[in-house]
Amino acid sequence: MKSDRHAKIVELIGKYNIETQEELADKLNRAGYHVTQATVSRDIRELKLTKVSMGEKRQKYALLQKNEDMADKYIRILRDGFVSMDMAQNILVIKTVSGMAMAVAAAIDALQWQEVVGCIAGDDTIMCAIRSTDENKRVMEKVRKIVLD
């Protein structure tokens, strides 16, 4: 699924200093996505990735500033994968369609909600650390609005 692969690319470039298409393709293949360099090139174009300087004449892939189009993609991933959610104090537990937890967690992280400290994902479950119980309720309301629209 392309949206799942795109979410994985966003996750990978956020986690690693990926300098080339070949390096990105290698990381995707290691993560279980069977991609060619042509596929990676197309994904880079669709995600509107750019190269940013790391100093010492080195560059890495990064997302352009968030724009409406990218936010829509993250919201679509959240909608497509969401099944249910529940809270345990400042922990938000989100259930997803099997195999979609990592993509949904990456989408939540990419949306950069100030209340969310970070997400950990398994196969169909995400645990989001939220700054407080009150903020957890606000995040749940944001998620409800997204998945019910």
134 in the same domain as 86: yes
Task: Check residue 148 and give its pLDDT.
Answer: 86
Task: Check residue 108 and give its pLDDT.
Answer: 94
User: How do the pLDDT tens digits run along the chain, 149 residues long?
Assistant: 788 899 999 889 988 999 999 999 999 999 999 999 999 999 998 888 888 888 778 889 887 655 456 678 888 899 999 999 999 999 999 999 999 999 999 999 988 899 999 999 999 999 999 999 999 999 999 999 999 87
22 in the same domain as 9: yes
135 in the same domain as 73: yes
Q: Which of 47, 63, 79 is the last residue of a domain?
A: 63
| Residue 123 identity (one-letter amino acid) | D
**116-121 β-sheet, strand order:** 82-88, 91-96, 125-130, 116-121
Structure tokens at 72: 């829509």
- CA 105 from centre of chain: 6
130 in the same domain as 106: yes
Task: Name the one residue in this structure whose structure tokens are 């919201």.
Answer: 75
pTM of the model: 0.57
- What is the extent of the structural domain holding 100? 68-148
81 in the same domain as 37: no
47 in the same domain as 33: yes
Q: Which residues contact 65 (CB under 8 A, 6 or more apart)?
A: none
Q: Which of 63, 87, 109 is the last residue of a domain?
A: 63
Instruction: Provide the number of structural domains found in the chain.
Output: 2
136 in the same domain as 81: yes
